[in-house]
Amino acid sequence: MFKVFRLKSIVAALLTLGIVAATCISVRYTGAYAVYFNASPRLVPIYSVEREDKLISVTFDCAWGVEHTDDILSALKASGVRATFFMVEFWAKKYPDYVKKIDGAGCEIGTHSATHSYMSKLNAEEIKMELSTSSAAIKEVTGKDPELFRAPFGDYDDELIKTASEQGYYTIQWDVDSLDWKDLSASDIAMRVINGVNSGSIILMHNNGLHTAEALPIILETLKNRGYTFVPVGELIYRENYVINSAGRQQPSR
């Protein structure tokens, strides 16, 4: 009786390993990576990147208005920093001149969806439409295909990340939140960012935060003086031979 029970346990264990291995292979070849909790795979986006060279990225989400965008671009230019801007389709269509300005400043542009909705509530076809039409609006102005995607509200699920990956996008989150959308003071924004950054960090800011442009020069110069170098997200991340851990930290495969 004991032998039969043991044999059944071994068979069950082998079947479980087989299922997990098959899932890993499936996920690996879509370009997305799984994090396992109790043998259940969960896909995660890139929150930060494991690096020892003190490279970091500052990013701006563009969905509402442009009143402070020129000042942000001026601050970036003055510090010699190239940032990444994630644009919603309706914003890009409403402000094509700013899409052109941002691209012309040498900054990187990614999509932030078409409608700024909670995309975990969408099915695969709806997600594909959000990605394709928003990217088309950006390409119409810049001539470039976006490679990066940031989900509105930071809201995602497995379907979203898997579909975005299959469409050729790297899904990007952040590990340093400036909270500039809460209209914090410039000094509060700056200190949140400066104290939160590590090598490989991705900083979240917004193009129309009330005090974002005022805080930006403090952030850029302080972090540069501490030995950090700013690069667009596309130059921060690994494009192949990587894994993503449970905290969303992208790491080179070992």
| Residue 27, pLDDT above cutoff 50 | no
53 and 31 in a common domain: no
Find the mean pLDDT for residues 79-107: 98
151 and 185 in a common domain: yes
Domain count, the chain: 2
Each residue of 134-164: pLDDT tens digit?
999 999 999 999 999 999 999 999 999 999 9
How would you label 84-122 residue by residue, b for 16+ Cβ within 10 Å and e otherwise? bbbbbbbbbbebeebbeebbebebbbbbbbbebbebeeb
Find the mean pLDDT for residues 211-220: 98
180 is catalytic: no
Find the mean pLDDT for residues 48-75: 97
Collapsed DSSP state (helix, strand, coil) of residue 193: helix
The predicted pLDDT at position 254 comes to 77
223 and 175 in a common domain: yes
| Residue 36, pLDDT above cutoff 80 | no
Alpha helices in 151-206 (DSSP H): 158-166, 186-196
Report the percentage of the chain scoring pLDDT > 90.
82
72 and 128 in a common domain: yes
Tally of helices (H runs) and strands (E runs) in the chain: 9, 13
The predicted pLDDT at position 26 comes to 37
Bridge partners (DSSP) listed for residue 243:
251
What's the whole-number average pLDDT of the chain?
88
Of 68, 112, 116, 206, catalytic: 206
Find the mean pLDDT for residues 20-49: 56
Q: Count Cβ atoms within 10 A of the Cβ of residue 241 and give its class: 0-12 exposed, 13-18 middle, 19 or more buried.
A: exposed
Domain assignment of residue 71, given as a range: 48-252
* Cα–Cα separations (whole angstroms), residue 112 to 3, 11, 40, 174, 205: 57, 46, 28, 14, 13
Lookup: tokens for 214 = 């005022």
Lowest mean pLDDT among 35-39, 56-60, 172-176: 35-39
The predicted pLDDT at position 131 comes to 98
218 and 119 in a common domain: yes
78 and 154 in a common domain: yes
57 and 23 in a common domain: no
Find the mean pLDDT for residues 244-254: 93
104 and 17 in a common domain: no
Residue with more model confidence, 217 or 16:
217
120 and 72 in a common domain: yes
Report the percentage of the chain scoring pLDDT > 70.
84
211 is catalytic: no
Of 61, 112, 180, 211, catalytic: 61
The predicted pLDDT at position 248 comes to 97
Find the mean pLDDT for residues 226-237: 98
153 and 226 in a common domain: yes
235 and 123 in a common domain: yes
| Residue 169, pLDDT above cutoff 50 | yes
Q: The pTM is what?
A: 0.85
Find the mean pLDDT for residues 183-194: 97
| CATH code, domain with 164 | 3.20.20.370
Each residue of 98-130: pLDDT tens digit?
999 999 999 999 999 999 999 999 999 999 999
76 and 56 in a common domain: yes
For residue 161, what are the contacts with CB-CB under 8 A and spacing of at least 6?
32, 43, 44, 45, 171
The predicted pLDDT at position 30 comes to 33
